[in-house]
Structure 1
Amino acid sequence: MTKKHKVLILSGDLGDGHKQAARAILETSQLYRPDVDATIVDFMEWTHPHLHSLGRFCYIQWVKNFPSVYGYLFQKTRGDNSFSHLFKKIKLFALHRMVQLLEEVQPTVVVSTFPSAAAAMSILKSQGLTDVPTVTVITDHTDHSYWIHPYTDQYLVGSEHVRNALIARHVPASRISATGIPIRPQFSQTFDRDELRSKHGLKRSRPVVLIMGGGLGMISRTFIRLLQSDPRLEPMQFIIVCGRNDKLREKLTNELKDGKHRFIVTGFVDHVHELMALSDLIITKPGGLTTSEAIALDLPMLLYKPLPGQEQDNAAFLVSAGVALQAFDEPDLFEKLTRVFQNPQILTTIKSRTKQIQTKTATFQALRTIVKTKTVVPVPRSVGRAVYAEA
């Protein structure tokens, strides 16, 4: 009988990307790897069962209302310096809760799709509390210090660009695999666009633009007003996904009833793969997961209002790779949208470039690497028992 690989996946809900990467690994293992028994645990909820909801709310409000402060701290802690060292020393979890989790699950490997979880596992190993192999899945095209920890055995990254950046930070090349960012199995499928448009009640002959503001539904009302008022665009079809922003969904539904363009406004949906597959263009914030899914489906991107930090890193990588355009304000967004549909060759060129960096098999490669990972960083043994008692 084949021994099962017991994979513990630690994720977090500060943004949807960490959770989606975890789900991608879980669903792929369930479909294609019967020798893998995977479990997802929300790291923040497990370590702070009573405070994680408040912490998430505070984080969202901070990023939404003070993005420049977030961006400043991101850049200040990007490198290996005294400031980033200070932040890494702030232990926002209880050792005994993590030890308890490992004892309950008994994993053969631990995968972190959330940077704080990767930090926690490295601290546990540094204290001799576990020697389980650890894998970190970096869910953005970034090399920020908060992902990099001394006791991580393997890093899975989205591109050679990130792999080279980690090597420049003195991470051994043997501990970095450029698998691509894991995406859920449905994004690796092939779809018939006309059939999907008919299924969703869309006209086959009219262009379709998918607008996503990220999992929190951050969509500009100024841009929506430009769409309604400017006469240069021919009649088009827009699908606006508002995520969990119910107030915005209700407001836009009421505002967009009339006009030459057709608008479909929806909240959080679980069939984004179909909406991407039937669209000609996606307007989105440059989250690591959303953009990887778009690339897998050959969908050109128009990136809008990246948050200072990892989203800016993502945007810079995607624009330099030629698979996306970036708009810097609402008028620029509208001008680029108009230019793209007045010059169809732009979309054709972008689609051809997506195939050059496309990683439809990213999750399969990631899972293969995960189950093969062994502990390569020596773990101290002498302090384990004492620290365990203290925890």
Structure 2
Amino acid sequence: MNYTDKDKILILSATYGDGHKQVANAISEAVDFSLPNVEPIILDIMQWLHPYLYPVSNYCYKKVINKFPQLYSFLYRKTHARSTFSAKLNALFSRGMSSLLEILQTMNPKVVVSTYPLAAGIMSKLKEQGFIDVPVVTIITDYTDHSYWLHPYTDQYVVGSNQVKEKLISLGIDPHKIKCTGIPIRQKFIQTEPRDVLAEKYGLIPNQFTVLVMGGGEGFIGKGISTFRAFEKLASPIQLIIICGRNRKLQKQLEAVVRNSKHKVLILGFSEDINELMAVSDLMVSKSGGVTTTEAMAMELPLLIYRPLPGQEEDNAKFLVKSGMAILAKNEEDIISNIQNMLSNSIPLLLMKFKARINQTKTSSFDALDVILREANSRVTQKSVSV
């Protein structure tokens, strides 16, 4: 790994779920945009520390999520509050401090940002044992708390909502160490082309009701085609954009089924242009990942949440529904009845758009970067004073 002579911000992330990496990318993008003399470096900490174990563990994580969600839910709830069990499990997953210490000593970053909870734990442990004195900032990538995010030697926490801030305070975190900026997202979700331009690009009708269905790649509708077929029960035709991710099997199945659909259907695999697809849609049907829902909030796109993963996604769903930015569908019939109601009455959609407008911030990445820089600069000032 080669480094330049610029000051460095090390961003520790992981690809267990896409959200941690997307937040890391958002911070990196903000640095590149506003700080030409600073170099952001993103490190997938699990892949770096455990190069041989990582592919196996990542595969097992996805299988547990899709095949045994209740097992994941059990482990998540069992470790939600700090306990002997959570501490032992965290210690097992957090091995590799010496390797990370070597990276830190070689790179000498001005500040370290963790967008993955186990990375935050390792950084705290290194500081506790006196190996490092670099400022450490943790960005919580969901609208909930968990013991694995919270560590005694973290200097600053960046959170997505005041509810999470209040929860951290109730758990004994110093209020001055918590900044509510919103979950950082990339700028392409802030600035988009007009809907009619994007509709022409994707072969869609600009003024027809359009539903974006996300999560196919993670098994959201991957267990069958019944969820798609349920849309045929709608009284009038709509436009559907279905994202299958890297689930090629599902994509081929859907392509065969949609030939007889009364709806105009656009089926896509993995896409880097989700922002454009959000901008051309009236409603998103999805799970409730922290980053994806934050991107939708920034686009003022109403959410119909379906099959949130047990654990943090269930907590995210509760926050979004309580805040008025989303509706939770219990089953396929509930999806259809909600969409049918929206087709005949636009008020629920308008209310969700309004709630998203007042809850989201279009400057979350730069606000989070400001927190990071203030922490880095305060440490420099403290050292100068002590000298």
Query: Which band: TM-score by shorter chain?
Result: over 0.9
- Aligned twin of 2:11: 9
Task: Tell me the distance in 2 between the aligned counterparts of 1:125 and 1:149.
Answer: 11
Partner amino acid for 2:334? Answer: D
Q: Does structure 1 conserve the Cα–Cα contact (< 8 Å) formed by 2:6 and 2:38? A: yes
- Aligned twin of 1:262: 264
Partner amino acid for 1:31? Answer: F
Partner amino acid for 1:12? Answer: A
* RMSD (Å) for aligned C-alpha atoms: 1.7
- Aligned twin of 1:388: none
Q: Does structure 2 conserve the Cα–Cα contact (< 8 Å) formed by 1:153 and 1:375? A: no
Task: Tell me the distance in 2 between the aligned counterparts of 1:214 and 1:42.
Answer: 25
- Aligned twin of 1:354: 356
Aligned-residue offset at 1:375? 9.7
Task: Tell me the distance in 1 between the aligned counterparts of 2:378 and 2:81.
Answer: 24
> Could you tell me the percent identity over the aligned residues?
44
Task: Tell me the distance in 2 between the aligned counterparts of 1:100 and 1:215.
Answer: 36
Partner amino acid for 1:48? Answer: H
- Aligned twin of 2:109: 107
Matches within 5 A, 1:209-228: 209-213=211-215, 216=218, 218-219=220-221, 221-228=225-232
Name segments (4+ residues, structure 1) moved above 4 Å: 374-377
Task: Tell me the distance in 2 between the aligned counterparts of 1:9 and 1:193.
Answer: 34
1:47 to 49, 62, 69: 49
Q: Alpha-carbon deviations, 1:263-298, whole Å to 9, x = none?
A: 111111000001001100000110000000000011
- Aligned twin of 2:188: 186
CA 185–214 in structure 1, closer or farther in 2 if over 3 Å, else same: farther
Task: Tell me the distance in 1 between the aligned counterparts of 2:103 and 2:8.
Answer: 13
Q: Which has the higher contact order (CA 8 A, sep 6+)?
A: 1
Q: Does structure 1 conserve the Cα–Cα contact (< 8 Å) formed by 2:81 and 2:147? A: yes
1:70 to 56, 60, 72: 72
Matches within 5 A, 1:325-340: 325-340=327-342
Partner amino acid for 1:303? Answer: I
- Aligned twin of 1:315: 317
Aligned-residue offset at 1:339? 1.5
Aligned-residue offset at 1:307? 0.9
**TM-score of the pair, normalised by structure 2:** 0.93
Task: Tell me the distance in 2 between the aligned counterparts of 1:270 and 1:92.
Answer: 31
Q: Does structure 1 conserve the Cα–Cα contact (< 8 Å) formed by 2:160 and 2:182? A: yes
**SS of 2:260 mapped into structure 1:** coil
Aligned-residue offset at 1:350? 1.0
Partner amino acid for 2:193? Answer: F
Q: Which runs of 5+ in 1 are unaligned?
A: 378-391
Partner amino acid for 1:244? Answer: R
Matches within 5 A, 1:276-287: 276-287=278-289
Aligned-residue offset at 1:37? 1.3
Counting matched residue pairs gives: 373
Task: Tell me the distance in 2 between the aligned counterparts of 1:296 and 1:302.
Answer: 16
**TM-score of the pair, normalised by structure 1:** 0.92
Q: Which moved more, 1:356-365 or 1:66-75?
A: 66-75
Task: Tell me the distance in 1 between the aligned counterparts of 2:217 and 2:168.
Answer: 28
Task: Tell me the distance in 2 between the aligned counterparts of 1:142 and 1:215.
Answer: 24
CA 142–375 in structure 1, closer or farther in 2 if over 3 Å, else same: farther
Task: Tell me the distance in 1 between the aligned counterparts of 2:162 and 2:7.
Answer: 28
Q: Does structure 2 conserve the Cα–Cα contact (< 8 Å) formed by 1:217 and 1:242? A: no
Partner amino acid for 2:81? Answer: G
Aligned-residue offset at 1:36? 2.6
Aligned-residue offset at 1:141? 0.5
- Aligned twin of 1:383: none
Q: Which runs of 5+ in 2 are unaligned?
A: 380-387
Task: Tell me the distance in 1 between the aligned counterparts of 2:117 and 2:361.
Answer: 23
Q: Does structure 2 conserve the Cα–Cα contact (< 8 Å) formed by 1:15 and 1:215? A: no
**SS of 1:256 mapped into structure 2:** helix
